[in-house]
Structure 1
Amino acid sequence: MSDSATSAAGTVLAPVASNERIQALDVVRGFALVGIFLMNIEFFNRPLAALGEGLPATATGLNWLAGWLIYNFVQGKFWTMFSLLFGMGFAVMLTRAERAERNFLRPYLRRIAALAAFGTIHHIFIWGGDILFSYAVGATALLIVIYGRWYWILAGLVALIGIGFIPGGDPVFQVAASLALMGAAALFLRNERGLQLPSGGKVPVFSAIMLTIALLVAIVAALAWLGIGPPAQARIPLTIFASVLTLFGVLSAKFHDPISQRKRSLGVGMYLFPFVMMTSFGLAQWLGPKPADVDAAAKPAISASASDSTAAKAPVSKEQADADKKAAAERAEKKAAREKRLKEQAEQIAEERKILTEGSYVSAVKLRAGEFAEHAAGEAGFAIVIVGMFLLGAWFVRSGIMENTAAHLPLFRKLALFGIPIGCGLGLIGSAIATGNSPDLPQGMYQTAMGMTLIGNLPACLGYVGLMVVMLHSRGIFSNVRLLAPAGRMALTNYLTQSLIGTTVFYGYGLGYWGIGRAWQVVFVFTVFALQIAFSHWWLSKFRYGPMEWLWRAITYWQLPAMRRVAVD
């Protein structure tokens, strides 16, 4: 099946009819909604600036237990699931367009633009924890990976780098870096060329580039270990960077073929690479030699002839003393920078809490508008991870797995059987190390914990998807998960409604119930979500689409879909 967009004059792409929907996708969407709500409600009652603080230190009893369970078995597993589902939706739309020989790109670009508008409005006017704008940026990046021409990518890079040198244009460099990575991903996905080996094998161009970079970094690391060139403190980071690049370079060559599996391989790689790097650096910083030990190891060796006790007490050279002084100054600077960052975060948390508990709706909108403007450029970096999940989701559909889940039940059983324990197990190990970034916690320790948790989110997410599909096809009580399907069909409406209800109930400009315990938050979530399921069933018995789904489709296909349900779809 080709991944190219096709078009035919005079033919337009239409919304998915009810009888064409994949029920498993709707069930998983419904399940993802409750997980998203369990995560989000904490930050309807807590400043978003406190996102990295982990479990509240004051929580006890049922509140602590509820927080611990959500932190380990929910947090991070469901935005990845939503991302996976978005990629599946992309592939469903593309597949239908190809089968009907209809245009795909124009409707999809309108779909992305609408999603970006929804996300912007949601973030500024309702709640600052929006994910929709991130998905719009990720969807744009996905189009670059799948359809981008190398010369357009190169031209975009040159233009962005040029803009970056304009005063105040520094954030654009992050966009340029993301565009370069998307170009590299496109190279892996669509390039068939390779370097011929003497043994007769072939190394893909993408892998060859990655391995070449790894070799260059390894050479620089070797020079650092020999005391030439880079400072001693760069030895371990350079060695880790070269090692991880080599690992992923070798794996990219091994899993480049067959073509039908490339989306899966690339998706998994794009998701895991930054978090494997994070965990590796964190472990080295936490368990490796401390800067003082590295400095000591870097000192010139004392000659054998001066090994007696008198020689050992010889004065340190001026050069070495200057090097020690410089290293100590760098360590002090890093410590001061971290303390400053944590102090600024504490001030931001206090300001956000005051505005959301005591301020007006207008002041909250101003706060969120400022945050949106400040963080919008950073979405380009997050897009790398999101695109990885999109590609993996697209593979599930393009491979035919999601279109015929019954025929692939053994795969879904394996995903549930292995993905959940492995993913949640990694998360439990991470949370045992640390759950938050407190001032007295070594940075490497926190970085290791977060890296392990983020790595574990991928298998856990896939395991939950597998579990839902297996339950859907069971014959007992577990098959009732199909009741989630209507809520999943109205996922956008329900997601936005959760934010609207949550902020209205908990923020100061609403009912003001800010700060209820974590256990009561769980009760609130399941109560509201039960009502959403009931409402979704009722609504879809009368209408074809949820309100926001109808609007999104109208913009996507540039026509007004029939809203009221008739006797036969």
Structure 2
Amino acid sequence: MNPRAVERGPADPTAGATHTDTGAGRGAGPGAGGRLAQVDALRGFALLGILVVNIGYMASTYHGSGLEDPGFASPLDGAVRWFVTVFFEAKFFLLFSFLFGYSFTLQLDSAERSGARFAPRFLRRLAGLFVLGALHAVLLFPGDILTTYAVLGLILLAARRLRPRTAVRTAVVLFAVTAAWYVLLAVGVHLAGGAGVDPGAAAEAERAADALRGGAGSVIGEHLRQLPDVVFLLAFFQAPAAFAAFLLGLAAGRARALGDLARHRTTLVRLQWAGFTVGLLGGVVYAHASLVRPGGAYQILALGVDVVTAPLLAAAYAATVLRITQGRFGGRTVAVLGPVGSVTLTGYLTQSLVCALLFTGYGAGLVGRVSPPAVLAIALTLFAAQIVVSRWWLRSRRYGPAEWLLRAWTTLTRPPLRRAEGTAAAVPAVPAVPAAPAAPER
């Protein structure tokens, strides 16, 4: 399994904090309770990217094995694989990780203003997130990252006093060290005579597909069988990059970078240039190694390239979405993406549930039986449905179901779910800004 391709979309456990800055531009100002609508829109966009990556792993046991599914080898199938690998894989979990760190600073500020003790509540939130993630991994999707976020959140809590410049430098060092590890590993594999795709990979993929098409016990058993490999990949390959993105979000939150985007327009433009040139080139190298020459030193080296270029492309995506929220179509953008971005934990878990019902023996058992173009179409359709349902839900409710549950555990209270009569929020008609209350790859 390709360690960097495993996206495992997170839910931002700190989402739901408010932002007191008021300098947001047109179409993206703070909504009700001081929320930044553009941040919710960015979360919504990231949730789409997570779904596009994760559904590929749930739809085919060949995905990430280094082998093409022999049942889907047409030029169109290949083109979709290239598209998803270049533009989506290993990018969107970085966006969510960044937003985790950013929202963490908002909750810190909120606790300081109210005089509340932050650490006990945050620790309960992390514990709740860990439990949700463990259940998610066993029942729905073994590539869960929520448990990893819960563990990394402990380190972030300890590092909360870092100055922005120190946080950025530490993040850069983490990316560089992780990339260097890949390079050294690639050199070692090359000197050892190279490697290659596991000769038993095809048989293993077929065995896993049969298990996932079985009953509930068979599905859960297969998830449990995969967990040790998944935990290893998360701990040694994805966690360092995720924590580096945490630190970048921490630095951005300390600087209120998303509260006054007009002031940072030059920086956003530079991120777009860097991401859509260097970052995209790295994505092409990563895709070529993953799809054309998998399993050897070249693929490992490409993973190292990806570690330092994927953050650039992720940053370019973020900069583009944020700039759109400030422009002519800003109101329309946040009206579409904002509500689903306000309930990302619920949205992420719902995506896994729907995909499990489609592709495993819980429901239709379609794993290995749907072509890549059809899988992509299912992802887009599912996300469109989530946009509609999220807008409807938030018209009369403050939180998504999973967000409410996590908040209740965090505060040890029963927070009101429904809005008081006469204060229904506004999930307004386009192009107004939605005032939705707030709220995360294999």
Post-superposition Cα deviations, 1:317-375, rounded to whole Å, max 9, x if no partner, equal: xxxxxxxxxxxxxx5xx77xx57x92465554333111012x11111112223433665
User: Is the aligned partner of 1:51 residue 2:40?
Assistant: no
Match in the other structure for 1:264: 168
Cα shift at 1:111:
0.6
Residue aligned with 1:402, SS = coil
Residue aligned with 2:144, SS = coil
Post-superposition Cα deviations, 1:530-567, rounded to whole Å, max 9, x if no partner, equal: 11001100100010111111111111122122111133
Change (3 A) 1:36 1:263: same
Post-superposition Cα deviations, 1:388-414, rounded to whole Å, max 9, x if no partner, equal: 111111111111102222332222222
- Partners in 2 of 1:15 and 1:427 — Cα distance? 32
Match in the other structure for 1:559: 413
Q: Which amino acid aligns with 1:426?
A: G
Q: Which amino acid aligns with 2:171?
A: G
User: Is the aligned partner of 1:121 residue 2:135?
Assistant: yes
Cα shift at 1:433:
4.4
Match in the other structure for 1:156: none
User: Is the aligned partner of 1:412 residue 2:268?
Assistant: yes
Post-superposition Cα deviations, 1:73-96, rounded to whole Å, max 9, x if no partner, equal: 111111111111111121211122
- Partners in 2 of 1:54 and 1:461 — Cα distance? 27
Cα shift at 1:437:
6.1
Match in the other structure for 2:370: 516
Post-superposition Cα deviations, 1:48-72, rounded to whole Å, max 9, x if no partner, equal: x752427657532322211111110
- Partners in 2 of 1:370 and 1:283 — Cα distance? 31
Match in the other structure for 1:390: 246
Q: Which amino acid aligns with 2:258?
A: M
User: Is the aligned partner of 1:467 residue 2:311?
Assistant: no
- Partners in 2 of 1:74 and 1:55 — Cα distance? 18
Change (3 A) 1:518 1:446: same
Residue aligned with 2:115, SS = coil
User: Does the CA-based 8 Å contact 2:283-2:306 persist in structure 1?
Assistant: yes
TM-score for both structures, normalised by structure 2: 0.81
User: Does the CA-based 8 Å contact 2:37-2:334 persist in structure 1?
Assistant: no
Change (3 A) 1:453 1:518: same
Q: Which amino acid aligns with 2:416?
A: A
- Partners in 2 of 1:433 and 1:46 — Cα distance? 19
- Partners in 2 of 1:558 and 1:437 — Cα distance? 52
- Partners in 2 of 1:350 and 1:15 — Cα distance? 42
Q: Which amino acid aligns with 2:134?
A: T
Please identify the structure whose Cα radius of gyration is greater: 1
User: Does the CA-based 8 Å contact 1:33-1:491 persist in structure 2?
Assistant: yes
User: Is the aligned partner of 1:21 residue 2:43?
Assistant: no
* Larger helix percent: 1
Cα shift at 1:278:
1.3
- Partners in 2 of 1:537 and 1:553 — Cα distance? 20
User: Is the aligned partner of 1:362 residue 2:362?
Assistant: no
User: Does the CA-based 8 Å contact 1:42-1:521 persist in structure 2?
Assistant: yes
Residue aligned with 2:395, SS = helix
- Partners in 2 of 1:142 and 1:115 — Cα distance? 15
- Partners in 1 of 2:253 and 2:339 — Cα distance? 20
Cα shift at 1:145:
3.8
User: Does the CA-based 8 Å contact 1:494-1:532 persist in structure 2?
Assistant: yes
Change (3 A) 1:487 1:59: same
Post-superposition Cα deviations, 1:129-167, rounded to whole Å, max 9, x if no partner, equal: 2121121122123234447xxxxxxxxxxxxxxxxxxxx
Match of 1:110 among 124, 136, 141: 124
Q: Which amino acid aligns with 1:449?
A: A
Post-superposition Cα deviations, 1:233-282, rounded to whole Å, max 9, x if no partner, equal: xxxxxxxxxxxxxxxxxxxxxxxxxx431111212321332123313653
User: Is the aligned partner of 1:539 residue 2:393?
Assistant: yes
Match in the other structure for 1:487: 340
Cα shift at 1:479:
4.9
Cα shift at 1:509:
3.5
Cα shift at 1:15:
6.3
Change (3 A) 1:522 1:346: closer
- Partners in 2 of 1:14 and 1:263 — Cα distance? 20
- Partners in 1 of 2:264 and 2:280 — Cα distance? 24
- Specify every segment of 5 or more residues in structure 1 that has no aligned partner in the other structure, as ranges: 1-12, 148-188, 190-258, 292-330
User: Does the CA-based 8 Å contact 1:271-1:386 persist in structure 2?
Assistant: no
Cα shift at 1:467:
0.5
User: Does the CA-based 8 Å contact 1:108-1:556 persist in structure 2?
Assistant: yes
Match in the other structure for 1:282: 186
Post-superposition Cα deviations, 1:97-138, rounded to whole Å, max 9, x if no partner, equal: 123332110000001001101100111111222121121122
Post-superposition Cα deviations, 1:493-515, rounded to whole Å, max 9, x if no partner, equal: 01110111111012234112223
Match in the other structure for 1:428: 284
Q: Which amino acid aligns with 1:502?
A: C
TM-score for both structures, normalised by structure 1: 0.64
- Partners in 2 of 1:410 and 1:14 — Cα distance? 27
- Partners in 2 of 1:102 and 1:559 — Cα distance? 15
- Partners in 2 of 1:503 and 1:436 — Cα distance? 29
Change (3 A) 1:70 1:434: closer
Change (3 A) 1:462 1:144: same
- Partners in 2 of 1:468 and 1:374 — Cα distance? 35
Match of 2:257 among 398, 401, 404: 401
Cα shift at 1:377:
6.3
What's the RMSD between the two structures over aligned residues?
2.7
- Partners in 1 of 2:235 and 2:188 — Cα distance? 28
Higher relative contact order (CA 8 A, sep 6+): 2
Post-superposition Cα deviations, 1:176-210, rounded to whole Å, max 9, x if no partner, equal: xxxxxxxxxxxxx5xxxxxxxxxxxxxxxxxxxxx
Residue aligned with 2:117, SS = coil
Cα shift at 1:454:
3.0
Residue aligned with 1:428, SS = helix
Change (3 A) 1:453 1:385: closer
